Amino acid sequence: MIRTIIEPFRIKVVQPLRFTTREEREDLLRRAHYNPFYLHAGDVLIDLLTDSGTSAMSNEQWAGMMRGDESYAGSESFFRFEAEVKDLTGFRHVIPTHQGRAAERILFSLLGGKGMTTIANTHFDTTRANVEQSGARCVDCPSPESRRLTEAAPFKGNLDLDAVEREIANAGERKVEAIIVTVTNNSGGGQPVSLANLRAVRQVCDRHGIPLVLDACRFAENAWFIRDREPGQEGRTLREIAQEMFRLADISTFSAKKDGLVNMGGFLAMNDDALAARARSVLILTEGFPTYGGLAGRDLEAIAVGLREVVRDEYMAYRIASVRYLCHGLKERGAPVIEPPGGHAAYVDAKATLPHIPKEFLAGQALVNALYLAGGVRAVEIGTVMFGAAAQHELVRLAMPRRVYTQSHVDYVLEVFADLLAERDRVPGYRITWEPPYLRHFTAHFEPVR
């Protein structure tokens, strides 16, 4: 008999939820220009906008917060953080940043530039924006199976190595500044990358003299899938697998807001002494002194503890089970979801959910707005609004914050989804009425198209 996997914690601080009526939500969404990023979080009942920075911290992390040493230079908290990150990643240089994109900005401003190319399984939007900001260009080489949304392949986050070789030949190896492996592949459905693929990318990088950058946001969730699905990995601890993943890379950018189990933080880590020295100079200019880098001492403590907690089996078993529960529940109710379930979110195919909405009327945004109206649930569009004409699919992501919602919260989301599906024909499309020059999904305005 399969036993229930329970939340492996007791709750000792609660944040009350505010309930709204459908009429209130119609008004709130109109005033938010039909872009849920503008909603006040207090007007959202279940917030699945992102798993980033939304974790509940443990009692041990809060204890660490009290230990935080707020010295400007040489903070004790930095050395605890640094030791923890070094042990996990093996990198000699650990540079704290306020979040992942700050690490990306520093790194790609140093590596990149006009005429250069980065290759990735899929560049996350901030990664792409930072590479392009430096004047370089991005090429995505996701595995062929990742394009088939409902194919239950084990490692859909893998890079397509033939495509990578073609792109290197195209660009010329000296013009490829980095190969980026994003674990798990967020933009591609939160799907994992296998150790075999990562090792093969290492070989490609060695052959061509190209640095391998690990975008490690969800390294622990990726490690779980490696242990669960990859032959020969079943006997290892999550930490051992994670340690190997990091050691296959030359450089890592990390947003601790995901698998660091904290609300703010990140790092840039590497072995290259000269590059690290240049990175620290930029850090001082834009983030802070190298022993705090845009973070408070207490934040560094919380990350140090979080990096230990995230690779515990009981935690990750619960984490993966709760995302699987959401995905299976959606599927049972008739929602077309990406399969197999990834590590941090359910991805719903909005085009298949709302087939009456043509591409130009933004089925993903339509589904996001319909979910909020139906039950105060906030999700995010990952499709034409986010990626423009380059969008491969119209997806909606329901991301699970870590240690925040219980199974009955998820049951409620499933009920809301079922209600929405029952009236899906009446969901309108949307058009953009205003947009900024880049990263438009955060701030664009929309109107419904009746």
- Can you give the binding site for ligand F0G, defined by CB under 6 A? 50, 52, 99-101, 124, 126-127, 182, 186, 215, 217, 255, 257, 266
**In the complex with ligand F0G, which residue's Cβ is closer, 256 or 427?**
256
**In the complex with ligand F0G, which residue's Cβ is closer, 25 or 257?**
257
What residue has token string 């690290």?
276
d(CA 183, CA 192): 6
From residue 318, alpha-carbon distances to 3, 59, 199, 325, 386 in Å are 12, 18, 28, 10, 30
d(CA 310, CA 228): 16
d(CA 405, CA 398): 13
Supply the minimum distance, in Å, between the C-beta of residue 217 and ligand F0G: 4
Supply the minimum distance, in Å, between the C-beta of residue 127 and ligand F0G: 6
Supply the minimum distance, in Å, between the C-beta of residue 102 and ligand F0G: 7
**In the complex with ligand F0G, which residue's Cβ is closer, 106 or 357?**
106
Supply the minimum distance, in Å, between the C-beta of residue 99 and ligand F0G: 3
User: Which residue has the closest beta carbon to ligand F0G?
Assistant: 100
**In the complex with ligand F0G, which residue's Cβ is closer, 186 or 233?**
186
**In the complex with ligand F0G, which residue's Cβ is closer, 217 or 316?**
217
> Helix 22-31 crosses helix 363-375 at what angle (to 10 degrees)?
140
Tokens encoding 226 = 């490696």
C-alpha radius of gyration, the chain, whole number: 21
Supply the minimum distance, in Å, between the C-beta of residue 311 and ligand F0G: 18
Tokens encoding 193 = 């990358």
**In the complex with ligand F0G, which residue's Cβ is closer, 413 or 427?**
413
Supply the minimum distance, in Å, between the C-beta of residue 237 and ligand F0G: 24
**In the complex with ligand F0G, which residue's Cβ is closer, 124 or 446?**
124
d(CA 119, CA 168): 8
**In the complex with ligand F0G, which residue's Cβ is closer, 20 or 182?**
182
From residue 330, alpha-carbon distances to 412, 413, 420, 433, 437 in Å are 11, 9, 12, 32, 35
Supply the minimum distance, in Å, between the C-beta of residue 258 and ligand F0G: 7
Beta strands (DSSP E) in 295-403 are 345-349, 377-378, 380-382, 395-399
Supply the minimum distance, in Å, between the C-beta of residue 86 and ligand F0G: 21
What DSSP string describes 223-257? Answer: HHHHHHHSTT-TTS-HHHHHHHHHHT-SEEEEETT
Supply the minimum distance, in Å, between the C-beta of residue 3 and ligand F0G: 31
- Cβ atoms of 351 and 394 within 8 Å: the answer is yes
SS (H, E, C) 382-446: ECHHHHHHHCCCCEEEEECCCCCCCHHHHHHHHHHHHHHHHCHHHCCEEEEEECCCCCHHHCCEE
**In the complex with ligand F0G, which residue's Cβ is closer, 34 or 267?**
267
**In the complex with ligand F0G, which residue's Cβ is closer, 58 or 255?**
255
Three-state SS at 215 = strand
- Cβ atoms of 327 and 337 within 8 Å: the answer is yes
Supply the minimum distance, in Å, between the C-beta of residue 95 and ligand F0G: 14
Residue 12, φ and ψ in degrees, nearest 5: -125, 0
- Cβ atoms of 299 and 267 within 8 Å: the answer is no
Cα angle 405-23-335, degrees, rounded to a multiple of 5: 50
Supply the minimum distance, in Å, between the C-beta of residue 301 and ligand F0G: 18
**In the complex with ligand F0G, which residue's Cβ is closer, 47 or 69?**
47
d(CA 239, CA 48): 27
